[in-house]
Structure 1
Amino acid sequence: MGLIEQVFSLVFGSGRNVVRDTVEVFRPNAEAQSRRDHDQYSASLQQFAAEFYAPQRGWFDRLMDALNRVPRPAMALGTLGLFVSAMVDPDWFSARMVGLALVPEPLWWLLGAIVSFYFGARHQAKGQEFQRELVEHMARPAPDRPSRPETGTPTQEPQPDANAALEDWMRQRP
Structure 2
Amino acid sequence: MGLISNVLAFLFGGGRNVVRETAEVFRENAEKGAERNLTRQHQAMAQFASEFQAPTKGAFDRFMDGLNRLPRPAMALGTLGLFGAAMVDPLWFTARMQGIALVPEPLWWLLGVVVSFYFGARHQTKVQDLQREISVTMQRTPQVMRNLEALSKLRADSVGAADPGTDAVLAEEAAHPEENRALEDWRSSRAA
Which has the greater radius of gyration?
2
Coarse TM-score class (shorter-chain normalised): 0.3 to 0.5
Higher share of residues assigned helix: 2
